[in-house]
Every structure is written in structure tokens, then in C-alpha cells.
Amino acid sequence: MNSFEQQLCDKLERIRKQGLKREVLPLQLIERAKIIHDDRTYLNLASNDYLGLATNKELVARFYDDLSADNLLERFGPGSTASRLMTGNHPVNTAVETQLAALYAPHQALVFNSGYHANIGILPALSGKGDLILADKLCHASLIDGMRLSRATVNRYPHLDYDRLAGLLAEKREQYRQVFIVTESVFSMDGDMADLRHLVRLKEQYRAVLYVDEAHSVGLRGRKGLGLAEEQEVVDRIDLLVGTFGKAYGGQGAFVICSSLLVDYLLNTARSFIFTTGLPPISLAWLLFVIRQLPSMEGQRQHVQALADWLRKELAAAGLETGGTSNIIPVMIGDSGQAVQVAQRLREHGFWVGAVRPPTVPAGSARLRLSITAAMERDDLAPLPGLIAEALS
């Protein structure tokens, strides 16, 4: 082993001792929010398949009913062959963006390969030296990476502290060419929600640009499933609304909803859009299939929220500390090692639960992240509060 490899081994050992070492495991997805690992079946509480679409056999079969020799490559091709600005922009790309634009009218849409691609591409394309980004302290790592790449000045205000944000805007707005306010709508590890109406008022008062990551909200919130911005009736007042297809949509990719001018500008300047192979036709065809049905999935949305509300009450009754109000339920543990141990105990009882540890969350705030999906029922979840409380006792 050379000196470089020894350094890496030493660093990995320190990570292991801190209870922070991660690994990937072979898993098989099956129906009804279940997965198989090492020939054992678990209820999957770590999934972002919020509407249960990715593992809905009936729905997937309906999607493939349209497969024919005539559309095999056009709609079901496995590769796009190039970036979208070369030869990878197929008709189904345009169909997806057109359908999204119709839902989010009068805005336009631009599809990216992932939420990570969107967040590391959009902010650097729009902001730079001489600009200021004011971001919620608990923004996702992809947003943080995008801010770093932008070379703009970055201030991160305390989580959901809009008085502090207003103070920063009043103090700093005139010192910078442009100011961007960046937030998630539903926060991925805390399950709580931004007050988008308040943020819209602040951005309008201080002539700022509002960037909202709706990754954990699109599909689940709003009458048509367009996200928290629809629910709070501010879609048309948000400058950049980012959503992902890898969660409630049960697919892959992401999109930004914005003005036609911004779409044109990003298409020409966002490096993560320009310099990557486009999504394959089959992925886009699935997204188009789902988007067209999304407005009619109100029953699934109501079921998810009712189930999450019920489970929060049951967890609290068992003496456990939770947070948020969405379908993402954090159960606070604190110590990383103990969080891992509790998650392992739950797996012994057939529940696949993730232990979320630093640096994903702040030091000392390790937790279990329970992700409630439309494929679950109360009976599936009923044993959880008692098992968690017992494991912590």
C-alpha cells in the first residue's frame, strides 16, 4: 500500500469510528413499498417514491402497453446518443417540456438530467462575483454545491428565520448587483415547509430573484400536484421553481419552471445542461405518461398526508421527538452511532429505515428519516413507534 492509499485508509477508519461510514447494498424493488435484501422482504421507509408509482406494476404495465415496433426507438429507446444540443434532443423531450409548461402556465420548462444537475448548473449560470445568494441554512447539498460553483457571495440564514432574512436584505441589497433567495419548499431531512408567500413578498420588496427547490413537494402538494407553490398560490410569482422526477414522479431527471427568457439563457449557459448526454427516450416517455395523470392523483396525495399525520401522533404518543408536517417524518436520535443501531434493530423487524447522520444533517442531530408513500397502509406502520421507543430505552 502506497502512502496515498494509507492516507485514505486512515481517513476511512476515522469515518467508521465516528459512526459515519456509508455503503451501498444490493436491493430489489417490489410492489407495495417493499424491497428485498439478502432474500428478506422489508417495508421500504427510505424511499422517495412518494406516490408509489415506480413500483406500481399495473401502472408500469399500462405504460408498456403502448410499445410497438413503430415507436420502439422514438419512445422506448434506451439511449439518447448525445447531449441535447447535439443529437440527443428527441420529440419526447419537447413533449415533456410542453406538458409541464401547460401545467405551470404562463411559465416555460427546461428538463435537466437530475436535481443535482439542475442545482449545480442554474445558480452558477445566473450568479457570479458581485452577486449575493441568501440561502436557508438547511438547503440540500446540491444547492450548496451550486452556490460554491457560482462564485457569488453566500450568506446562509437560520432555518425558516424570515426576520433574519429580511434584515440581511435590508442591510446588503444595495451592495450587490443581484440578490438570490434560495430555499427548499419541503425540507428533505426535516419534513417542514417554507412560507413561500412570505418569501415572495420579500423578494418583491427587495428586487431579489427567488429560487425554490420543490424536489420533495412536486407530485404531493397542491390541487394538481404542482408543489407547495401551487398550494400556497404563488407559482406565477416564483422566478425559478425546480422539481425532480426521481421522487413522486417515479422516474429520473429534473426540471426548472421559469420565464422563456430564463429558459433560453440557461440553455446557453448552464454547463450541467450543455455538457451532458440527454435523458433516453424511454425515461422521458415514462415522465410524459405520469405528468398527464398527475392532476388526477388527488386521492393518493390525501392518503399520504393522512397517513403521515396519523404516524406523527403515534410516534409522539410513544414519547418520541419528531418534526415537520409533510410526509417526511424525522425521528430525532442525536447520536450517530445510536441512530445506526436503532435503524439496524428496525431492519431486524422488517422495516428498512435510514439513519441520517452528519454531514447530511448538523452534528448532534442524527435521526431516523421515515418516508411515507401512497403504497403504505396504517397496518404496515403500526408497530414502528413501539419498536423505536423500545430500541431507545
Which member of 48, 71, 83, 155 is catalytic? 48
Which member of 184, 230, 231, 239 is catalytic? 184
Burial of 191 (0-12, 13-18, 19+ CB in 10 A): buried
Is there a catalytic annotation at residue 184? yes
H/E stretch holding 258: strand 254-258
Which member of 107, 140, 203, 303 is catalytic? 140
Contact between 43 and 33 (Cβ < 8 Å): yes
Amino acid at 261: L
H/E stretch holding 209: strand 209-213
Task: Say which residue the cell 396519523 belongs to.
Answer: 310
Contact between 244 and 115 (Cβ < 8 Å): yes
Best CA proximity match to 150, nearest among 175, 173, 120, 118: 120
Distance of CA 23 to the CA centre of its chain: 21
The three three-digit cell numbers of residue 278, written as one number: 440527454
Is there a catalytic annotation at residue 190? no
Is there a catalytic annotation at residue 117? no
User: How far, in Å, CA of 167 to CA of 18, rounded?
Assistant: 37
355: DSSP letter: E
Is there a catalytic annotation at residue 150? no
* Sign, Cα dihedral of 77, 82, 84, 87: negative
Rounded (5°) CA angle 181-185-190: 115
Which member of 107, 117, 203, 216 is catalytic? 216
Task: Say which residue the cell 425540507 belongs to.
Answer: 187
Per-residue buried b or exposed e for 253-279, using 16+ beta carbons within 10 Å of the residue's own CB: bbbbbbeeebbeebeeebebbbebebb
Is there a catalytic annotation at residue 188? yes
Is there a catalytic annotation at residue 38? no
Which member of 136, 213, 214, 380 is catalytic? 213
* Sign, Cα dihedral of 142, 211, 50, 255: negative
Which member of 119, 188, 272, 283 is catalytic? 188
Is there a catalytic annotation at residue 48? yes
Which member of 93, 247, 283, 327 is catalytic? 247
User: How far, in Å, CA of 245 to CA of 291, rounded?
Assistant: 10
Helix (H, G, I), strand (E, B) or coil at 32: coil
Catalytic residues, by residue number, are 48, 140, 184, 188, 213, 216, 247
